[in-house]
Structure 1
Amino acid sequence: MIKALLLCLAAFSVCSWAQTSKPHFVAKPSDKSVLGSQRNSNKLKQVKSDPNQVYHYQNADGVVVFSDRPPETGHYQVRIYDCYACKPSSNINWQSIPLFTQQYNDDIRLAARTYQLEAALIRAVIHAESSFRPAAISKTGAQGLMQLMPATAKELGVTDAFKPSQNIQAGSRYLAQLLKRFDGDITLACAAYNAGASRVEQYRGVPPFPETKAYVERVNILLQRYRKS
């Protein structure tokens, strides 16, 4: 299983920049990477292997290891080979998955006020993009809470995409630009955030990518839930 995943990783790295017009989505499995650590060996017994993710870390001898289980101690990265909110076959119940209602309150409120956005929408996009993981990074290079591509981040004046305050401000500004471009249509703006504005314009609506369709549907579910929270 790990050998197959490594082969997929190698193949994906060759084509990861093939469609730069898509800021957040490539029509192949994406790679979300999240820093973590494991200090208690008892916790290891509770972690089941997951064929959809690989734990990447260095062992005591300094050798890089790829495994379907986390190390007993030390830091590691979790590489998930599917977009968090756009995997069509996801078994997550988006109607009941726990929400992040308190995280980054000040930053989200400031961004919402600055760019005249609903705080609930910003939260929904962050949840869909990174599940509120500030260290998340995709194989295509998208970074941080709102998964900004480096070129987009640079255009928006970001100096550290992993700093929540900068990422939320820039991601919200970009989302506001997309909403303006698509006349306030949240569905189209979110589709553009995921697949690229040019794709939305090309297809005159949500692009026919299963991942983008799933992403848009789930952002809307999360939006409705965050509005009520």
Structure 2
Amino acid sequence: MPKARFFTWYRVAPLAVVFVFGLISLVYSCAPAAFFKPLYPIDYEAYVKQSSISHNLDPYLVCAVIKSESNWDPEAESNQGAQGLMQLMPETAQDMIAKGLVDGGEYSADNLNDPATNIEFGCAYLSYLLAYFNGSTDSAIAAYNAGMGNVDGWAQQNTSFHNAITFPETQAYLIRVNNAWVRYKTLYPDQFV
């Protein structure tokens, strides 16, 4: 009867996979800023700064939403019809004009692929969500992805907000935006001073 060897492929393969993922996690956590800056760029800085100031938002949060929504692609379009850097629906942009949060004479809801226009409407909407949810950033981020009605329902649950979210995509989105927000603040501490 052959003697079983401890280091056979079916024992080593799972250990190797765990080691590789552990190494990737370590590099991701401890890598220098030079490694991450290409992964977390800031484009359209002037538009982000201007619209963030006018809508009383943290520009790093705006950058995190743009990174998570379109990865800085002004031509991005979702299957549902969301457009541009901040992935806005034309109806949402129209609503921001109707609520008086965006000057419809200066910005057109029909021009959402224009970076300045998209950032202005996206900042207005994000600011509106923050005000609606009494400053709760997590609720505003989740509503940006899943809608205000869903977040209203989740907020009524008798559990932590993250656990109340019933859409895995929204849970992942909330984590992704918050992680990007921290990354942007760490990588570019003086960018918007």
Shift of 1:94: 7.7
**1:181 aligns with one of 132, 151, 160:** 132
Counterpart for residue 53 of structure 1 = none
Task: Tell me if structure 1 keeps the 8 A contact 2:48–2:119.
Answer: yes
Task: Tell me if structure 1 keeps the 8 A contact 2:129–2:144.
Answer: yes
Counterpart for residue 166 of structure 2 = 208
Shift of 1:128: 0.3
Shift of 1:153: 1.7
Task: Pick the structure with more helix per residue.
Answer: 2
- Residue by residue over 1:92-148, the C-alpha shift from the partner in whole angstroms, topping out at 9 and shown as x without a partner, is 9986571112x1011000011100101100000000000000000011000000000
Whether 2:93 is the aligned partner of 1:135: answer: no
Supply the distance in 2 between the matched residues of 1:153 and 1:180 (Cα, whole angstroms): 17
Number of residue pairs matched? 138
Cα separation, partners in 2 of 1:215 and 1:94, compared to 1, 3 Å? farther
Counterpart for residue 149 of structure 2 = 198
Identical pairs, percent: 38
Shift of 1:177: 0.5
Structure whose CA Rg is larger: 2
Shift of 1:159: 3.0
Task: Tell me if structure 1 keeps the 8 A contact 2:85–2:113.
Answer: yes
Query: Which residue type is aligned with residue 100 of structure 1?
Result: P
Gaps of 5+ in 1: 1-90
Whether 2:122 is the aligned partner of 1:122: answer: no
Counterpart for residue 13 of structure 1 = none
Supply the distance in 2 between the matched residues of 1:165 and 1:120 (Cα, whole angstroms): 16
Supply the distance in 2 between the matched residues of 1:200 and 1:155 (Cα, whole angstroms): 19
Whether 2:178 is the aligned partner of 1:223: answer: no
Q: TM-score, normalised by structure 1?
A: 0.57
Cα separation, partners in 2 of 1:223 and 1:165, compared to 1, 3 Å? same
- Residue by residue over 1:189-209, the C-alpha shift from the partner in whole angstroms, topping out at 9 and shown as x without a partner, is 000000001100012145221
**1:169 aligns with one of 109, 117, 120:** 120
* Structure showing greater relative contact order (alpha-carbon pairs closer than 8 Å, 6 or more residues apart): 1
- The alignment's C-alpha RMSD in Å is 2.1
Q: TM-score, normalised by structure 2?
A: 0.67
Gaps of 5+ in 2: 1-23, 30-35, 98-108, 156-160, 189-193
Supply the distance in 1 between the matched residues of 2:114 and 2:152 (Cα, whole angstroms): 32
Supply the distance in 2 between the matched residues of 1:217 and 1:94 (Cα, whole angstroms): 15
Task: Tell me if structure 2 keeps the 8 A contact 1:94–1:222.
Answer: no
Whether 2:57 is the aligned partner of 1:99: answer: no
Supply the distance in 2 between the matched residues of 1:179 and 1:226 (Cα, whole angstroms): 20
Task: Tell me if structure 2 keeps the 8 A contact 1:115–1:176.
Answer: yes
Shift of 1:156: 2.6
Supply the distance in 2 between the matched residues of 1:117 and 1:201 (Cα, whole angstroms): 22
Whether 2:92 is the aligned partner of 1:152: answer: yes
